[in-house]
Amino acid sequence: MISDFQGKTAVLTGAGSGFGLECARIGAKLGMNLVLVDVQQDALDKAQAELEAAGAPVLARQVDVSSADQMEALAQAVQQRFGAPHFVFNNAGVGSGGLVWENSVKDWEWVLGVNVWGVIHGVRLFTPMMLAAAKADPAYRGHIVNTASMAGLLTPPNMGIYNVSKHAVVSLSETLYQDLKLVTDQVGASVLCPYFVPTGISQSHRNKPAGLADEKPTQSQLIGQAMSDKAVSSGKVTAAQVAEMVFHAMRHDQFYIYSHPKALGNAQSRFDAIVAGTNPPDPFAERPEIGEGLRQALRAG
């Protein structure tokens, strides 16, 4: 149980928008020190100005989370300014769609770099700092939250590259939870699995690295982008509500955090098929018109 956030330090990647920014806003209200990390400088500057105006001590860093060197420099800067963090939100993520064989090597490197390596770097760099702080102080309590997705528990078609990255984050987070339980009672872990929530994720292409942004999207990628835009923008659960769920989970040492628990029916169907050894179920069983529309659009090309 974690009840006291006053004066504690939180590292938040992807802090310029979405869940990262909303968690930072809650942190500011609770009197926390905030380390804001984002690749987009203008969004980072805006977040820093807002949270400093709210009274929070802020360290802001423009970082590409896929870069080991940049993340190592970040960890050193955090240690020098605030010491070991109490909370780490490995939240930065990008979205990408399309038929799985149509993604280029650069696509794979970009999405896996941010979504998987970004979380790996956050875990490998900050966990040892947190464990050292826990060893030095029996009163220390820490928690790591990795942002995955319901796509980390499901395998919806036409977004394989994203599914792969988020399944990796779920696996990494579950293992992190188990590994921490072996060595300490003072540091916990959670995985956030949001479904369609209005954030900047569907506009990830705004931060594509040079070279990748020049690639012409395939028909399936354009269709995937349009479907993602529609689903994300029409989401009824807000990023602020999800951030509240995250803090509730940290307070109560809850591992799985779901924005849309009803979507777990699809996860149940998937696991039932795995256990039974049957073929993967139709992901559009509840909304067959969406599946039919997608099939027709892809076959029309």
Catalytic machinery residues: 162
Q: Give kind and range of the element (H or E) at residue 182.
A: helix 160-183
Cβ distance 91 to 23 under 8 Å?
A: yes
- What are the structure tokens assigned to 147, written together? 């942002």
Distances (CA, A) of 90 to 13, 126, 188, 204, 291: 6, 10, 14, 16, 33
| Cα separation, 292 vs 286, whole angstroms | 12
Distance CA 90, CA 281 (A): 31
Question: Residue 189: which of 204, 206, 169 has the closest Cα?
Answer: 169
Return d(Cα 266, Cα 76) in angstroms, integer.
42
Q: Hey, is 151 helix, strand or coil?
A: helix
Question: What is the 8-class DSSP label of residue 186?
Answer: S
Orientation angle between helical segments 41-53 and 18-29, nearest 10 degrees: 20
Q: Are strands 33-38 and 58-62 parallel, antiparallel or unpaired?
A: parallel
